[in-house]
Amino acid sequence: MTNTLHRTGDADSFKDDYIVFAIASRGKNDEGALEKLQKFLRMAIPFSPVNLGDARNGGSLRPSKDMGPSAHWNRDISPDFEAVVEGFTHITTAAAVFDNRVAAEDFFKAVKEADMGLSVNISTSVDGAEQCCHHAGVPRHSVGYSLGFEGKTELLPNSHVLLLSTMCGHGMVANSLAKKMIDWVKEGRRTPEEAASYLQRFCSCGVYNPSRAKRILEDARGTTK
Amino acid sequence: MKINPKKCVACGNCTYVCPMGAIYIDPVIKRATVNSAECVECYACYNGMSQEKLNPVMVRTMRKVFQLLRLRFDPEPDVCPTSAFEPDTLVWPRIVRRAFSDPRVPHESTGIEGRGTEEVKTNDVSGRVVVGEVGFTIEFGRPGVGVWFRDIQKACWTLAKAGVSFEKKNPITSLMTDVSAGTINAEVMGEKLMSAIIEIKVAVERTEEIVRLVWAIEKEIDTVVVLGVGTRCDEKGEDTVVAPILERLGYKLHRAKTNTGLGRITNTTKEKSNEPVPAGAPK
């Protein structure tokens, strides 16, 4: 799962995008991992994440399988972090998404002190992750660089669309929906926050960053690149 | 995936949410329809859209009235008003589309959701990439383009000829009938996926050679490619080896996934065998 690695943007565009995630390795440290992963997610809540993720069941804003008609006028777009923690029923990747470095640093430091034995990764700019590690007094173990998209790039859409759609590395956020949301924000049919919430619901592992999406949509309102 | 024409009201919401652009309103039957050749069974439509259970006849009538009066109802864009999506029963080989495209389905070969790979995420406990080695994840098809297995096959053959070693715990490798030659089970060649990742590992001295090999592969296939390059840091947490090579090749290293080294082996029972899963139909 490279679901967070290949987000497009330069280093500065990740200033509000920090994903700290925990994962157990089968046969190595998966015994008792379910409780530890739940603990990891619960520990994140006081640090004000913008999303929490369960790779199997989704994030803090999910689609409804039985939506009532009134939701078209008063849909709830507030995240439900407790539901993510309580619904974490399988050993899979647990992720906490932050929109500022200080929160990510402090959370990571707390995770280090909890010493759960799970692999913990930080996905953001190279420098941002280094700073988080430095803050916690941890030397980086390994690093996986994203080299960006290559090949038949003429098949890709414009950069604002890509900035939005690549925040779901599994490709569940369609380029066409991202483009539609940019258009709707331009037309004034939805606020950037509402448009970001539609995109967020499609991310099935909860790593979508609605705060960054809102900023990108605001940026795209005036001039789509 | 299919859309029940008796339920569909042709609202068009689903045409935007399909990552492959495989859903359209059929002008003859005036219902949303899935182009099954292009559909990768990712279930983004079925799992990602909220669903209402409105009466289709009522909704169609309302839509006709609005249309007649040139009025626009402005409903939520991520909703299927009549719960019209119905998953097909998938059989081999089409079932691999879902295994590689729906992130909620764990790959049998690795037990991992998503694209089924661990890369350097668990390197602190797996020791998969050690000092002096470089792990490559070569991903095809994302974002939103997709990839056919026949293109992945071309890449695997090229890489195998270069003598790379394919990661055993990887979904693509698990479908190979001959790992040394990089040959994938021929039965899946006509299948399209959202994306798929080849994982290889080489000595650090071969980094530039592999990057150039991938550049050559990119010219031979009809999709987008994204490279992830994983390396072990030194005891100070620095990478002074691989990053300079990549920068010399023209890459700007904006983003990375950093393994912080907090993981350790805690299981008290011995790990099961790590041998590759035999190629063939998933059980």
For A149-173, what is each residue's pLDDT tens digit?
999 999 999 999 999 999 998 999 9
Task: For residue A117, give every residue at least 6 positions away whose Cβ sits within 8 Å of its Cβ, in sequence order, or none.
Answer: A29, A36, B262, B263, B264, B265, B266
**pLDDT score recorded for residue B237:** 96
Local confidence band at B269 (pLDDT 50, 70, 90 cut-offs): confident
Considering only CB atoms, A27 lies closest to which of B15, B139, B267, namely: B267
Q: Give the residue on A whose Cα is nearest the Cα of B77.
A: A198
Q: Which residue has the higher pLDDT, B36 or B276?
A: B36
Q: Give the residue on B whose Cα is nearest the Cα of A197.
A: B78
Q: Would you call A121 and B268 a contact, using CB atoms and an 8 Å cutoff?
A: no
State the nearest Cα–Cα gap between A222 and chain B, in angstroms: 22
Local confidence band at B275 (pLDDT 50, 70, 90 cut-offs): very low
Task: Give the residue from B113, B43, B55 showing the smallest Cα distance to B85.
Answer: B43
Q: What are phi and psi of A168, to 5 degrees?
A: -110, 100
Name the 3-class secondary structure at B84: coil
Q: Give B-chain residues touching A201 at CB under 8 angstroms.
A: 48, 50, 78
Average pLDDT on B85-104 reads 94
Per-residue burial over A64-85, b = 16 or more CB atoms within 10 Å of its CB, e = otherwise: beebeeeeeeebeeebebebbb
A20-41: pLDDT as tens digits: 999 999 899 999 999 999 999 9
Considering only CB atoms, B48 lies closest to which of A115, A149, A202, namely: A202
Considering only CB atoms, B50 lies closest to which of A9, A10, A67, namely: A67
Task: Give the residue from B205, B120, B85, B72 showing the smallest Cα distance to A2.
Answer: B120
- Give a yes or no: residue A55 inside a domain: yes
Domain of A112?
A: 11-222
| Sign of the dihedral through C-alpha B41, B222, B255, B20 | negative
Q: Are B22 and B38 in contact (CB under 8 A)?
A: yes
pLDDT over 90 at A69, yes or no: no
Local confidence band at A112 (pLDDT 50, 70, 90 cut-offs): very high
B129-172: pLDDT as tens digits: 999 999 999 999 999 999 999 999 999 999 999 999 898 889 99
**pLDDT score recorded for residue B273:** 47
Q: Would you call B218 and A151 a contact, using CB atoms and an 8 Å cutoff?
A: yes
- Give a yes or no: residue A42 inside a domain: yes
Local confidence band at B40 (pLDDT 50, 70, 90 cut-offs): very high
The answer to which of A17-26, B45-54, B101-110, B155-164 has the lowest mean pLDDT is: B101-110
pLDDT over 50 at A17, yes or no: yes
Distances (CA, A) of B209 to B164, B182, B212, B234: 11, 18, 5, 23
- Give a yes or no: residue A1 inside a domain: no
Q: Would you call B143 and A29 a contact, using CB atoms and an 8 Å cutoff?
A: no
DSSP string, A186-210: HHTSS-HHHHHHHHHHH-TTS---H
pLDDT over 80 at A104, yes or no: yes
Cα dihedral A129/A132/A137/A141 (nearest 10):
-20
Q: Say how many domains are in chain A.
A: 1
Place of tokens 């090999």: B213
pLDDT over 70 at B116, yes or no: no
**pLDDT score recorded for residue A1:** 42
**Tokens coding A37:** 């992963």
Residues 183..202 of B with a Cβ closer than 8 Å to A: which?
Answer: 194-195, 197
CA B114 and chain centroid, separation: 7
Local confidence band at B274 (pLDDT 50, 70, 90 cut-offs): very low
Local confidence band at B72 (pLDDT 50, 70, 90 cut-offs): confident
Q: Would you call A143 and B142 a contact, using CB atoms and an 8 Å cutoff?
A: no
Query: Domains in chain B, start-ordered, CATH in brackets?
Result: 2-86 (3.30.70), 106-248 (no CATH)
Considering only CB atoms, A71 lies closest to which of B76, B194, B225, namely: B76
A115-138: pLDDT as tens digits: 999 999 999 999 999 999 999 999
Average pLDDT on B49-71 reads 95
| B121 CB neighbour count, 10 Å cutoff | 31
Average pLDDT on B56-72 reads 93
State the nearest Cα–Cα gap between B263 and chain A, in angstroms: 4
**Contacts A–B by Cβ distance under 8 A:** 355
Q: Are B33 and B13 in contact (CB under 8 A)?
A: no
pLDDT over 90 at B177, yes or no: yes
Local confidence band at B74 (pLDDT 50, 70, 90 cut-offs): confident
Residue A185 CA to residue A224 CA, distance in Å, equals 11
- Give a yes or no: residue A3 inside a domain: no
**pLDDT score recorded for residue B283:** 33
Q: Give the residue on B whose Cα is nearest the Cα of A168.
A: B143
Considering only CB atoms, B226 lies closest to which of A32, A112, A147, namely: A147
Considering only CB atoms, B266 lies closest to which of A29, A92, A172, namely: A29
Q: Give A-chain residues touching B271 at CB under 8 angstroms.
A: 26-28
Q: What are phi and psi of B204, to 5 degrees?
A: -60, -30
Residue B21 CA to residue B42 CA, distance in Å, equals 12
Q: E strands of chain B, at which residues?
A: 2-3, 23-26, 31-34, 50-51, 79-80, 85-86, 133-140, 147-148, 165-166, 176-178, 183-184, 192-193, 196-203, 224-232, 255-259
- Give a yes or no: residue A129 inside a domain: yes
Average pLDDT on A163-192 reads 96
Burial of B274 (0-12, 13-18, 19+ CB in 10 A): exposed
Q: Would you call B52 and A69 a contact, using CB atoms and an 8 Å cutoff?
A: yes
**pLDDT score recorded for residue B163:** 93
Average pLDDT on B88-108 reads 89
Residue A170 CA to residue B196 CA, distance in Å, equals 10
Q: Which residue has the higher pLDDT, A88 or B120?
A: A88
- Give a yes or no: residue A4 inside a domain: no
**Tokens coding A17:** 């995008």
B231-250: pLDDT as tens digits: 999 999 999 999 999 999 99
Burial of A110 (0-12, 13-18, 19+ CB in 10 A): middle
Compute the mean pLDDT over every residue in chain B, rounded to the nearest whole number. Answer: 91
Q: Give B-chain residues touching A133 at CB under 8 angstroms.
A: 237, 258, 260
Q: Give the residue on A whose Cα is nearest the Cα of B18.
A: A174
pLDDT over 50 at B281, yes or no: no
- Give a yes or no: residue A171 inside a domain: yes
**B171–A contact, CB cutoff 8 A:** no
Considering only CB atoms, A148 lies closest to which of B104, B226, B265, namely: B226
Name the 3-class secondary structure at B190: coil
Task: Give the residue from B8, B17, B140, B137 showing the smallest Cα distance to B78.
Answer: B17
What's A174's DSSP letter? -
Task: For residue B91, give every residue at least 6 positions away whose Cβ sits within 8 Å of its Cβ, in sequence order, or none.
Answer: none
**B274–A contact, CB cutoff 8 A:** yes
pTM comes to 0.94
Residues 227..256 of B with a Cβ closer than 8 Å to A: which?
Answer: 227-233, 235-239, 242-243, 246, 251-256
Task: Give the residue from B24, B44, B32 showing the smallest Cα distance to B3.
Answer: B32
Q: Are B169 and B107 in contact (CB under 8 A)?
A: no
Burial of A187 (0-12, 13-18, 19+ CB in 10 A): exposed
A213: enclosing H helix or E strand: helix A210-222
